Amino acid sequence: MTLVQKARLKSLWVVHFDCGGCNGCDIEVLAALTPKFDVERFGIVNIGDPKQADIMVLTGPVNHKNKRVLRDLYEEVPDPKMVIAVGTCACTGGIFHNCPNILGGVNKVVPVDVYVPGCAARPEQIIDGVVLAMKKLAGEAPEEDE
């Protein structure tokens, strides 16, 4: 493992985008930054600028209006990048599965690396999800068998 790869695992900058969920997960993502959980311990910063981000944290189901925004945002994040779908609606659509303007989970629009379940996902689960993403970045994730 090169030095850059090692550094990458210790400095994950997050860009967070709400695709139209209920805000529950969004405030939990924010709560993960605050003193009780403080993800900055792992070098995780909510950077807000897609051009410098490593991890996309997506919450909420995708609708027809913001799928274009989401795709643009995904394109803007430089490689190597990880996409974490936080919350039930971001994974599959969850309770909004039969709403007419909903496409379903964010995996309908962008490839997702880690799925974090929960409605709303708890900060502990979000931290676990980031740890999984770190493992995948380090190449320790199990191979996809398709």
Partner 1 sequence: MALATPLIGGLLMGVDRKLTARMQERVGPPLAQPFYDALKLWGKTVMIDSSLQPALAFGYLGFALVAAGLVTFRQNLLLVLFVTGMADICLTVAAFDAKSPYSYLSGRREFLAMLSYEPVMLLAYTAIFMVTGSFTIRGIYEYGAPLLLVLPAALVALEIVLVIEMKKSPFDVSGHAHQELVRGVFTEFSGYTMALIELGRWTKLATTMMILSLFWAPSPVIGGAISLVMFFVVLMVDNLYPRLTWQRMLRTTWAVGFALILLNVAALAVGGVIL
Partner 2 sequence: MIPFGPQHPVLPEPIQLQFYVDEEKIVDVLPNIGYVHRGIERAMELNDYRRNIYLCERICGICNVIHGQTYARLIEKLTGTEVPIRARYLRTIWAEVARLQSHLLWLGLFAESIGFESLFMKIWRDREIVLELTEATNGHRIHMGTTVIGGVSKDLDERLRDRYLGDMDRLRKEVDDWGHVFVKDVAFREKTVGKGILPKKDAVHLGAVGPVIRGSGVPRDMRSNGYGVYGELDFEPVTHDGCDSYSRAMVRLDETYQSIDLVKRAIDQLSEGPLVEKNEGFPDGVAMVRSEQPRGECFYYGVGNGTIHLERCRIRTPTLPNIPPLLQMLIGHDVADIPTIVHSIDPCMSCTERVTYVEEAA
Partner 3 sequence: MPRFLGNILENLLGKPATVRYPFEKPEHVPGTRGEISFDMSKCDQCQDCERLCPSGAIEVDVEGKRIEWDPYRCIYCHLCVRSCMHEAITPLDNVQPPGYRLEKKVFEA
Q: Which residues contact 58 (CB under 8 A, 6 or more apart)?
A: 16, 17, 19, 70, 83, 84, 85, 86, 90, 106, 110, 112
- For residues 34 to 63, the per-residue mask of contacts with partner 2, x marking binding by CB under 8 A and - elsewhere, is xxx---------xxx-x---------xx-x
- For residues 79 to 98, the per-residue mask of contacts with partner 2, x marking binding by CB under 8 A and - elsewhere, is ----------------xx-x
102 counts as binding partner 2 under rule CB under 8 A: yes
Query: Which one of partner 1, partner 2, partner 3, none is in contact with 106 (Cβ closer than 5 to 8 A by kind)?
Result: none
118 counts as binding partner 3 under rule CB under 8 A: yes
The answer to whether the CB of 135 falls within 8 A of the CB of 109 is: no
The answer to whether the CB of 85 falls within 8 A of the CB of 91 is: yes
Give the separation between CA 55 and CA 12, rounded to whole angstroms. Answer: 7
Query: Which one of partner 3, partner 2, partner 1, none is in contact with 125 (Cβ closer than 5 to 8 A by kind)?
Result: partner 3
Q: Which residues contact 1 (CB under 8 A, 6 or more apart)?
A: 138
- For residues 108 to 127, the per-residue mask of contacts with partner 2, x marking binding by CB under 8 A and - elsewhere, is -----------xx-x-----
142 counts as binding partner 3 under rule CB under 8 A: yes
